[in-house]
Structure 1
Amino acid sequence: MPQQLLLQGVSWQKYEQFLQLIGDDFPNLRLKYLEGQLQLGSPSRNHELIKRNLARLLEVYLEETRIPFWGLGSTTFRREANSRGIEPDECYCFYEEKPYPDLALEVFITSGGIDRLAIFEGLGVPEVWFWQQGQFAIYVLGESGYNNSDKSAQLPDLPISQLTQQVMSSNPLEAVLAFRQRLRG
């Protein structure tokens, strides 16, 4: 079961100090910061399994369609001017490496905590996918914030329904092979 702790009234300086303190010594500790709120979490085994399956499948699509990508994993992204910081479950830049990802992926096993969309919006991430209860919620950044979408703006030809079906597979290798075959066929 994932563990979460939400702290209120944490200054940006304290957040930065905490990031320095933990460094790379605690790879399973995830931090989210939004305007004085700091959430610390530790992902569950099920969370990590879904996250890795999703990343593998998305990378198969990117390879098969020859879209250049940079997989940045759970890199820490932050912007002091907007008081926001996050370590997405997975994230990617497409066509060239950029300071902030083009796409961030978040897997929800539990609910509650800091508003992740508000963090990503403050960082200017163009697209965010939430995986929750066996389905995707795709959010595309517009002039007035994120809008829910049926398909990806970053990857408009990606067959979301087929991707969803394969993420749910009980056999990760078979899911990757089947998805690759469908993309080729």
Structure 2
Amino acid sequence: MVTTTLTPPLQSSEEKLITLTAIKWQTFKAIMSDVGDGRAWRIAYAEGVLEIRMPLTEHEEPVGMIEHFVGVIVDEMEIEMRQIGALTLEREDLNRAIEPDSCFYIQNESVVRGKSISLPADPPPDLVVESDYTSSSLNKFSIYAALGVPEIWRYRNQSLVVYQLVEGSYQERENSLAFGFLPIAEIPAFIEQSKTIGPRAAVRLFRQKVREFLNRR
């Protein structure tokens, strides 16, 4: 029997969360096929539990700013990057699937360049971004760990924390695997600035900061 739990928002800034249990992999795939790609919600699936999350603007805007900032970093470093947003990462053999708020191929960009990505034939993203406004019924980090994602940036309550995969579990770190020179903890300040000076002005200020750090190397 399939059961549904709707977690109502406690306040206007909270996302809606729907949890379905006893969902077989084939049922999960049928649901995803039926709704197609033009949906506004994100999913996480593990061992029969399907979680559907409906992001709000307050959730999406910080992610958009982080995407801009990552673009600035790779441009200033003169390296390549493939940004794929909420790519569905799934492995039937592990009975797990998840859609990050955004994800990037950096170290492995050349490996997946121009390809339609399919795990495990292709590597997982080098960097995943999660913006948490709602408590999840699933341990999303365990899903990412099973898929082998090496790095997660988690934005929550105006802070950005870096996690790296170490021996099968995530450990908090001060610096990024992909961008070791950059103090990631400074990024939220630029996100907050964007609310007053505008997003593009904040991106320009961030670019100046990145150049300062690169000049010190």
Q: Same fold (TM over 0.5)?
A: yes
CA RMSD of aligned residues (A): 1.4
User: Which residue does the alignment assign to 1:158?
Assistant: 182
Deviates more, 1:148-157 or 1:42-51: 148-157
1:103-143 CA-to-partner distances (Å, cap 9, x unmatched) read 10000112233211011111111111111111122111111
What displacement does 1:182 show? Answer: 1.6
Structure-2 separation of matches of 1:18 and 1:79: 16
Closer/same/farther in 2, CA of residues 77 and 44 from structure 1, 3 Å limit: same
Residue of structure 2 in register with 1:4 after alignment? 17
1:114-153 aligned within 5 A? 114-153=138-177
Q: Which runs of 5+ in 2 are unaligned?
A: 1-13, 113-121, 213-217
Q: How does 1:54-93 map to 2 (within 5 A)?
A: 54-93=66-105
Structure 1: gaps (5+ residues)? none
Q: CA deviation at 1:164?
A: 2.4
Quick one: which amino acid aligns to residue 149 of structure 1? R
Given that 1:33 and 1:86 are in contact with CA atoms closer than 8 Å, whether structure 2 keeps it comes out as: yes
Matching of residue 18 in structure 1 with residue 42 in structure 2: no
Q: Do 2:81 and 2:106's aligned partners in 1 also have CA atoms closer than 8 Å?
A: yes
Percent identity over the alignment is 30
Distance in structure 2 (CA, Å) of the matches to 1:45 and 1:161: 22
**Of residues 39, 48, 63 in structure 2, which corresponds to 1:36?**
48
**TM-score, normalised via structure 1 length:** 0.93
Q: Which moved more, 1:121-130 or 1:89-98?
A: 89-98
Shift of 1:102: 0.5
Aligned partner (choices 202, 206, 211) of residue 179 of structure 1:
206
Give the partner amino acid of 1:64.
Answer: E
Find the aligned partners of 1:23 and 1:179 in 2 and give their Cα distance: 36
Note if contact 1:57-1:167 (Cα within 8 Å) is conserved in structure 2: no
Q: Which has the higher contact order (CA 8 A, sep 6+)?
A: 1
Greater CA radius of gyration, 1 or 2? 2
1:145-168 residue CA offsets vs partner (Å, 9 max, x unmatched)? 211111112221122133221122
Structure 1 equivalent of residue 58 of structure 2: 46
Residue 98 of structure 2 aligns with an amino acid whose one-letter code is I
Q: How many residues align?
A: 184
Partners of 2:84 and 2:104 within 8 A in 1:
yes
- Decide whether the 8 Å contact of 2:161 with 2:185 is kept in 1: no
**Residues of 1 paired with 2:18 and 2:187: CA distance?**
32
CA distance in 2, matches of 1:73, 1:60: 16
Tell me the SS of whatever aligns to 2:60. helix
